[in-house]
Amino acid sequence: MKSRTTLHTDPVSPAPASAKSRLKHIGPGLVMAATGVGVGDLVAALVAGTLYGHVFVWAIVIGSILKYILNEGIGRWCLATGQTILEGWHSLGRWAMAYFGVYVILWGLVFGAAVASSTALAAATMFPIMPLWAWAILHSLTGFLLIWNGRYLFFERVMLMLVGIMFVTVVGSAVILFPNLGNLSLGLVPQLPSGSLFYVLGLVGGVGGTVTMASYGYWLRKKGWNSPSWIPTMRLDTTVAYTITGIFTLSLLVIGAEVLFGTGIILEGEKGMVDLSRLLGERLGEIVRWLFLIGFWAASFTSLLGVWNGVPYLFADFVRLTKGIPKEQSGEYISEKSKPYRSYLAWLTFPPMLLLFLGKPFALVIAYGTLGALFMPFLSLTLIWLLNSSRVGDPFKNGWVTNLLLGGSVLLFAVLAFREIFDVF
C-alpha cells in the first residue's frame, strides 16, 4: 500500500464517534445530491409517473442505492488514501486524464447554457418581467459572484437552504395530492411493462449526479474531513443525501401519476414543468402552482450553484496534475482563489451566454453527448479498479456486494451510453 498523504486543508477536529454527533456534521452529501438533481431528472420521474403510474417506485429505490454506492466510493477513496479522485485517475494512465480534460471543457460550455436556461425558465414563469435570456444571464452572474467571493461553508449554507425549499415545495405538492399509498407500496414490487425498458434504465441511472459526483471529495476536504476516521460520518452524510433525493424523485413520480396518468397528456422537456405547474394550479389552486414553481426553480439553481462551486476544483486539480505540481503545493491550486479555479468558473459563466443566442452548434452537441454518455461508465469502472487496488488499505477496499453493485452500474450506464450515442447519431 502506498503511503498516505493529505491535501492541504484547514485544521480539523476529531471525527465524531456517535451517530447523533455525526448528524450535526452532514452537509457535503446534500450539496452533491442537490447539485445532481437537475431538470432532466425531474422530467424523467414526471414522465415515468405520467405513463406508468406508480409502477416504478422500485426503480427510484434502486437508483438511489446505486448512486449511494458511487458517491460512497468516491468519498472512501479520498478519505482512505488522502488522494483526490483526479489523482486516482492520473495513476491509471494518460488516457484517463485525456478523456477527462476534453470532457470537462465541452461539458462546461454546454451545461453552463443548459442549466442557466432551465433556471431562467422557472423564474420567468413566476415573474415574466424580462426575457428568458436576461433571466439566464442574471442567474449565471449571480452564481459567479456568489462562488467568486464566497467560501465553502457559506456556499453550503446557501445550498442547504435551497434543499429545504426544494423538499418542502415539491414533496409538499405530492402530499397535497393525497397519493394512494396502496398503489405506492405495490410499486416497490419490480415490474417491467411492455416498452418501458429505457424509461426504467433512465430513471435508475438519473437519480442525482453525473460529473458533479467527482466534486464530493473536494467538498469533504473543505468541510475538514481528511482522514479514514471520517468514513462513518461520510457514509451517514451520503445515506441522508440519497434518502432525501429518493423521496424528492418519488414525489415527482407521484405528481405525474396523480395528475396526468391516464389522461393521455405527455409533458416533454423543461417547458413541460411549466405546463405541469399550470395543471396543478387548475386542480389545486394558485398556492400549489407557486409551490411547485419555486421547487422547480430551487432544483435548477442548486444544480447551477453546485457545479459553479464544485467542478472548478476538478479542473484546478487537473491543471495541477498536468503540470506535475507536487502535492505539497496543491493547496495553491485547489482553492477558490486560484487562477485555474476562477478560470473554469468564468468558463462556466461567460462563453455559454453566447449559446443562449446562437443555439447549440450541432458538432458541439454531438461531442458533448457522446463524451457525457461515457462518463458514468467511466466513473463506475475506475472506482472498481481503484478501490480493489493496493492503493487502498485492506479495511477500506470494496466488499463483494459493493463490487457487484458497481459492476451492475457499469452495465447499466453502458447500456444508457449506447442508447444516448445512438440517439445523437
Give the tens place of pLDDT for each residue, 402-419. 999 999 888 888 887 777
40 lies in a domain? yes
Over range 186-197, report the average pLDDT.
82
The answer to whether 7 and 221 are in contact (CB under 8 A) is: yes
Q: Is the pLDDT of residue 67 over 80?
A: yes
**For residue 74, what are the CA distances in angstroms to 92, 110, 213, 217, 309?**
15, 25, 8, 7, 18
19 lies in a domain? no
pLDDT of residue 234: 96
273 closest CA partner among 132, 51, 121: 121
Q: How far apart are CA 130 and CA 133, in angstroms?
A: 8
18 lies in a domain? no
- State the pLDDT confidence band at 1, using cuts at 50, 70 and 90: very low
pLDDT of residue 41: 73
The answer to whether 256 and 49 are in contact (CB under 8 A) is: yes
Over range 387-411, report the average pLDDT.
92
253 lies in a domain? yes
pLDDT of residue 8: 39
Q: Is the pLDDT of residue 5 over 50?
A: no
The answer to whether 64 and 242 are in contact (CB under 8 A) is: yes
The answer to whether 57 and 184 are in contact (CB under 8 A) is: yes
Q: Which residue has the cell 447551477?
A: 304
Q: How far apart are CA 233 and CA 7, in angstroms?
A: 19
Q: How much of the chain, in percent, has pLDDT values that exceed 90? A: 37
174 closest CA partner among 248, 244, 249, 254: 254
pLDDT (tens digit, 9 = 90+) per residue, 242-292?
998 889 889 888 888 888 777 777 666 666 777 788 888 888 888 888 988
pTM, entire model: 0.89
Check which CATH number belongs to the domain holding 320 and give it. Answer: 1.20.1740.10
pLDDT, mean over the chain: 84
pLDDT of residue 53: 86
150 lies in a domain? yes
Over range 178-184, report the average pLDDT.
75
Q: How far apart are CA 185 and CA 183, in angstroms?
A: 5
Over range 24-43, report the average pLDDT.
83
Burial of 31 (0-12, 13-18, 19+ CB in 10 A): buried
6 lies in a domain? no
5 lies in a domain? no
Q: Is the pLDDT of residue 182 over 80?
A: no
**Dihedrals φ, ψ of 174, to 5°?**
-65, -40
Over range 193-215, report the average pLDDT.
76
Q: How much of the chain, in percent, has pLDDT values that exceed 70? A: 89
Domain span holding position 332 = 27-424
Phi-psi group of 338: left, alpha or beta (phi > 0 → left; psi -120 to 50 → alpha; rest → beta): beta
Q: How far apart are CA 33 and CA 249, in angstroms?
A: 11
- Quote the DSSP letter at residue 388: T
pLDDT (tens digit, 9 = 90+) per residue, 303-359?
999 999 999 999 999 999 999 888 877 777 888 889 999 999 999 999 998 887 776
Total tally of structural domains belonging to the chain: 1
Q: Is the pLDDT of residue 6 over 80?
A: no
pLDDT (tens digit, 9 = 90+) per residue, 215-249?
999 999 989 898 999 999 999 999 999 998 889 88
11 lies in a domain? no
136 closest CA partner among 343, 333, 369, 297: 297
